[in-house]
């Protein structure tokens, strides 16, 4: 690999272990002084990945101050926000405050942007001790600096949507894009979403409909979410089951679907997802709480001939698709808005 490629990927910012890529690294150098091909963002707000926030919150017994301390400790120790248990991060919004002369990202000082690369590889320094955050929500008001490499992606924030909404949508924008792509490529007719009333779940339902799927099932965990999803009108059928209980998922779903999209923020949904999927079908594991061994060995153990896809956070056009689905789909807005702190 040539030096310039290494720099573009941010390898020069890796402190430990040397030579690792930033995402896999234990520690990054979060020095706010930028190199000629880097961009510095003045951070305004972080969006912690749902699986990471849930894990931190549960491990701290819901104590917001303890969650805040845990996040600060991670960022201080690692130079990035990567939950060591879930391995996941999130993304951030802020204002571009310095652009190196050789940066290819096309950003200008003063632009308000969302980073579309994970916090797990973004050098991050927090300077306000997260004083304005109560530790009880995924969205974290924060002051500090973040660094983008030459090979990063950022989206200029839209003027017509509140920042917290844009941040929430852009964090999960890989899910609707991956769903649409699978439906289009396979010609799938039926689709099940596990965690369908959540942010990535409802966007995936809307994307599947637009991509041509005609038989949409939304699986949710309780009657409250079922009522909300029914009112949103995004699914043809709403079923209730614990996504971590494979037999309950299979019973609730009934006839397996061509495609299953896993959008829950808890571990152990792999086997239910496999059972919900028809032979020859496809499972998209968007959830960051997914276990590769559980998925692979579980499918093998059930003699399930299903294609299993890791929900790549990046698909070309993913940001615009998620924002547009939100703008033009009242049911998506009805489900996303209550989950987003204004
Ligand atoms: P979200 O808005 O919190 O939605 C998750 C949904 O799953 C919620 O409706 C939740 O219900 C439901 N759920 C939780 N446990 C369940 C269970 N046992 N049975 C049935 N439903 C259950 O989360 P999100 O922001 O859409 O994120 C979803 C997943 O995507 C997370 O795992 C996150 O890590 C992942 N993610 C992946 C990428 C990527 O690039 N692949 C990027 C960002 C996020 P309650 O609200 O009642 O708990």
Contact 265, 277 (CB under 8 A): no
Ligand 1 pocket check for 266: Cβ under 6 Å: yes
Pocket test for ligand 1, best of 136, 181, 265 (most atoms within 8 A of CB): 265
Ligand 1 pocket check for 79: Cβ under 6 Å: no
Confidence tier at 4 by pLDDT (50, 70, 90) = confident
Each residue's pLDDT tens digit, 217-228: 999 999 999 999
| pLDDT for 179 beyond 80 | yes
Sequence-separated (6 or more) residues with CB below 8 Å from residue 47: 90, 91, 92, 93, 138, 139, 140, 167, 168, 170, 171
* Alpha carbon distance 48, 282 (integer Å): 28
Strand order across the beta sheet in which 90-99 lies:
124-126, 139-148, 39-48, 90-99, 112-115, 154-156
Atom 8 of ligand 1 has which residue's CA nearest to it? 198
Ligand 1 pocket check for 339: Cβ under 6 Å: yes
Dihedral (C-alpha) 115, 121, 127, 133: value to the nearest 10 degrees?
Answer: 70
Each residue's pLDDT tens digit, 137-146: 999 999 999 9
Q: Which atom of ligand 1 is nearest to the CA of 219?
A: 20
Ligand 1 pocket check for 197: Cβ under 6 Å: yes
Each residue's pLDDT tens digit, 86-99: 999 999 999 999 99
Confidence tier at 183 by pLDDT (50, 70, 90) = very high
SS3 32: coil
* Alpha carbon distance 214, 7 (integer Å): 46
Tokens of 245: 């209980």
Sequence-separated (6 or more) residues with CB below 8 Å from residue 320: none
Give the mean model confidence (pLDDT) for residues 198-220.
98
As a 3-state breakdown, the chain gives helix, strand, coil percent values, each rounded to 5, of 35, 25, 40
Give the mean model confidence (pLDDT) for residues 294-320.
95
| pLDDT for 255 beyond 60 | yes
Strand order across the beta sheet in which 307-310 lies:
237-240, 215-220, 190-194, 257-262, 277-285, 307-310
* Alpha carbon distance 134, 53 (integer Å): 13
Atom 47 of ligand 1 has which residue's CA nearest to it? 221
- Ligand 1 centroid from CA 199, angstroms: 7
Pocket test for ligand 1, best of 198, 220, 295, 340 (most atoms within 8 A of CB): 198
Q: What percent of the chain has pLDDT over 70?
A: 99
pLDDT for the residue numbered 313: 86
- Rg (C-alpha) for the chain, rounded Å, is 20
Ligand 1 pocket check for 48: Cβ under 6 Å: no
This prediction's pTM = 0.93
Contact 220, 195 (CB under 8 A): yes
Ligand 1 pocket check for 218: Cβ under 6 Å: no
Ligand 1 pocket check for 270: Cβ under 6 Å: no
Ligand 1 pocket check for 337: Cβ under 6 Å: no
* Alpha carbon distance 225, 49 (integer Å): 20
Q: What is the mean pLDDT of the chain?
A: 96
pLDDT for the residue numbered 1: 41
| pLDDT for 189 beyond 50 | yes
| pLDDT for 112 beyond 90 | yes
Residue 12 DSSP class: G
- Ligand 1 centroid from CA 264, angstroms: 3
pLDDT for the residue numbered 125: 98
Ligand 1 pocket check for 88: Cβ under 6 Å: yes
Q: In the chain, what are the domains?
A: 3-157 (no CATH), 174-339 (3.90.180.10)
Tokens of 276: 């919900």
Q: What percent of the chain has pLDDT over 90?
A: 96
- Ligand 1 centroid from CA 41, angstroms: 28
Confidence tier at 322 by pLDDT (50, 70, 90) = very high
Ligand 1 pocket check for 98: Cβ under 6 Å: no
Contact 180, 259 (CB under 8 A): no
Burial label, 336 (beta-carbon count in 10 A; 0-12, 13-18, 19+): buried
Confidence tier at 2 by pLDDT (50, 70, 90) = very low
Q: Which atom of ligand 1 is nearest to the CA of 266?
A: 15
Ligand 1 pocket check for 244: Cβ under 6 Å: yes
Confidence tier at 3 by pLDDT (50, 70, 90) = low
pLDDT for the residue numbered 194: 98
């Amino acid at each position: 690999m040539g030096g310039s490629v290494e720099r573009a990927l941010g390898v020069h910012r890796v402190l430990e272990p040397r030579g690792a890529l930033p995402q896999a690294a234990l520690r990054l150098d979060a020095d706010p002084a930028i190199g000629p091909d880097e961009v510095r963002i003045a951070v305004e707000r972080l969006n912690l990945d749902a699986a990471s926030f849930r894990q931190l919150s549960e491990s701290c017994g819901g104590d917001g101050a303890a969650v805040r301390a845990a996040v600060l400790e991670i960022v201080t120790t690692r130079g990035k926000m990567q939950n060591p248990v879930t391995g996941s991060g999130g993304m951030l919004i802020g204002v571009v405050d310095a652009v190196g002369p050789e940066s290819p990202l096309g950003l200008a000082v003063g632009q308000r942007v969302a980073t579309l690369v994970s916090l797990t590889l973004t050098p991050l320094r927090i300077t306000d001790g997260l004083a304005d955050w109560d530790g009880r929500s995924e969205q974290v008001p924060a002051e500090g600096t973040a660094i983008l490499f030459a090979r990063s992606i950022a989206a200029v924030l839209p003027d017509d949507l509140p920042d917290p909404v844009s941040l929430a949508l852009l964090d999960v924008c890989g899910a609707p894009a991956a769903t649409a792509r699978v439906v289009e490529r396979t010609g799938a007719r039926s689709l099940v979403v596990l965690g369908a009333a959540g942010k990535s779940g409802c966007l995936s339902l809307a994307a599947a409909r637009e991509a041509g799927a005609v038989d949409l099932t939304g699986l949710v965990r309780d009657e409250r979410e079922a009522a909300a999803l029914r009112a949103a009108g995004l699914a043809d059928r709403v079923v209730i089951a614990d996504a971590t209980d494979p037999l309950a998922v299979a019973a609730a779903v009934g006839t397996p679907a061509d495609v299953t999209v896993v959008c829950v923020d808890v571990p152990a949904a792999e086997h239910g997802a496999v059972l919900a999927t028809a032979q020859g079908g496809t499972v998209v594991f968007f959830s960051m709480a997914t276990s590769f061994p559980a998925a692979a060995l579980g499918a093998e153990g059930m003699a399930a001939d299903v294609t299993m896809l890791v929900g790549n956070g990046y698909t070309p056009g993913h940001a615009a698709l998620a924002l547009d689905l939100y703008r033009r789909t009242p049911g998506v807005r009805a489900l996303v808005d209550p989950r987003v702190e204004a």
